[in-house]
Amino acid sequence: KGEVESLNDVELEMHRKWNVSFKKKEAEEEVTDERRAKHLARLEEEEVRRIAQEALRKQEERERLERERNATASNEEGEEMDDRKKYILQVLEEIKGKIPDQCKAAFTSELVQLNLEYSERVKVTVKASFPKGFSPSNKMVHCDVESKSLHEDIVGKLLAGLQQHLEQTFGAGSGNQEGENPIGHIYQYCDKFLGKNHLLTAYEEIQRIKKEILKPPSKVLGLENKQGVIKVRVQVEKYYVDLKVKVFCKNSVDYPDGIIEVGIIETNLTKELEKSFLALTEARIRLHGDAQEVVDASMLEDRPPEKEAKSKMKKKVHPRKVVFQTAASKNTEAEMLQKQEERERERLKKLLEDSNRPKVIEPRIFIIVEFVYKELLKPVVESKCPCCDKKILPSDPKHCAKIPSKMKADRLYCGHFYHHHCLTNYLSNPPFDDECHICGAQISHHKFVDTKQQLEKRWAQKQARQREIEDLEDLFGF
């Protein structure tokens, strides 16, 4: 019994010590949490104080700079300025109101900087400085032109033209300069060069066309910068096409973001080929950035249509058929209409997704000229008909007007040319092959839409008729 009591005392003592240590640990953790919270609060207060001090320091710095600027301005006004500086300030004051404020990045007696921005692709910085000898009798200034968006050749031409213009107006021996303002001349010349030239952003493509495509006798007929028109002649042997490409630039939108229009000014090809070439070229333009069908999101809402959906089935149905139409046929027609509406909704949904997708507009002037030259004019002039092995067009363009209809050229969707008569015989006679002789692609043309079965049936009927005629000839001895 004594031993049991001693064991109980030991257990009680251990339990008491454990409680004491546990409470001590909890107290230490509470102290630690409290210290951590105080530390975080102190850090937050220090950060707020630092931010406030930084803002106050910046405000004081701005006020100091403003005071120094005002003091400098007052000192300059108070000091006696030399004649050169007075005259420069007078020149700047004369033209100050004629230049938009958004263009004037710097307008001081030491430097004049004009930032000219006409669109996202036409941005130019012009700097002008006054030499030591600047005076009413010598108004020549030094200029520099910079641009990150335009081609370096364009910048060089602008700078050279500007310097030449200033030299002619204010250079030695230019005559009376009274009333002329050099800064005004700089702004007017740059504004005329940049603001009314819609082919600036197409410069690289025009140079590439001259270098890679327009080799003699092909040539550039003219460039109308103000109208945004490029006229070129592509020529193969004696056949030529005078092409006109017009760039529409409105509302601060420049090429290639603007719309492109193409036309044929003159050609010695046949009317059929001219019309075909123009349609194919317009289709090629649409592949490289033209607008697609505009879709309204409300067309996809889940609501009953305001008007009955048009069915592709024939609507001319006898009244009795409508009266005695069975329930099964009604259900069938309803299902067909529902499927048709679902297909239309899927089509509109796809178009809406395509229209919401970022549109990629490519530079396409070079593509147009290259397409007309390499894929249209050159093949039709140089190629031979795969069936008869004769040239598609006569060697002399003067004979084009006398070409019989059966020998006129037909261009397949694969890009190869055939004589109309040769292609008709090739498709209409056994073995009724419908593959191109050159590339092996299936022959596809809007003039030849009959299926192979229809051609076989027509050929069989023609053969039967021919046999009947031959039998009659044998019978009557013709």
Q: Give me the pLDDT at residue 288, please.
A: 75
State the helix-helix crossing angle for 152-170 and 203-212, rounded to 10 degrees. 110
Q: Which two tokens stand for residue 313?
A: 């089935």
Tokens describing residue 311: 């069915």
Position 314 pLDDT exceeds 70: no
- Sign of the CA dihedral running 305, 310, 313, 318: positive
DSSP class of residue 302? S
Query: What are the Cα distances from residue 123, in Å, to 30, 187, 362?
Result: 66, 14, 20
Please say if the pLDDT value at position 350 is more than 60. Answer: yes
* Cis peptide bond N-terminal to 216, omega within 30: no
Q: What interhelical angle do 182-195 and 83-95 show, nearest 10?
A: 40
Contacts for 382 with CB less than 8 Å, ≥ 6 apart: 236, 237
Give me the pLDDT at residue 332, please. Answer: 78
Q: Which residue has the tokens 């139409």?
A: 325
CA distance 325 to 332: 11
SS (HEC) of 167-231? HHHHCCCCCCCCCCCHHHHHHHHHHHHHHCCCCHHHHHHHHHHHHHCCCCCCEEEEEECCCCEEE
Please report which confidence band the pLDDT of residue 17 belongs to, taking 50, 70 and 90 as the band edges.
confident
Question: Quick check: 239 pLDDT over 90?
Answer: yes
- Per-residue model confidence (pLDDT) at position 71: 66
Residue 198's nearest CA partner among 244, 152, 257 is: 257
Q: How many C-beta atoms surround the C-beta of residue 98 within 10 A?
A: 11
Please check whether residue 281 is in contact with residue 372, taking contact to mean a CB–CB distance below 8 angstroms.
Answer: yes
- At 27, give phi and psi (nearest 5°): -65, -40
For residues 173 and 182, the answer to whether their CB atoms sit within 8 Å is no
**Residue 357 DSSP SS3:** coil
In order of 143, 278, 279, 417, 418, the CA distances from 275 in angstroms are 51, 5, 6, 15, 17
Rounded Cα–Cα distance for residues 177 and 23 (Å): 99
- Looking at residues 87-114, what average pLDDT do you find? 86
pLDDT for 293: 42
- Which pLDDT belongs to residue 294? 42
Tens digit of each residue's pLDDT (9 = 90 or more) over 367-384: 999 999 999 999 999 988
Measured CA angle at 263 (ends 258, 267), to 5 deg? 155
Predicted TM-score (pTM) of the model is 0.63
- Report pLDDT for 29: 72
Q: What is the mean pLDDT of residues 23-37?
A: 74
- How high is the pLDDT of residue 311? 46
Q: How far apart are CA 330 and CA 477, in angstroms?
A: 63
Q: Angle CA(342)–CA(348)–CA(350) in degrees, nearest 5?
A: 105
pLDDT for 85: 85
Tell me how far apart the alpha carbons of residues 2 and 51 are, in angstroms, rounded to a whole number.
74
Which of 208, 236, 239 is closest to 365 using CA atoms?
208
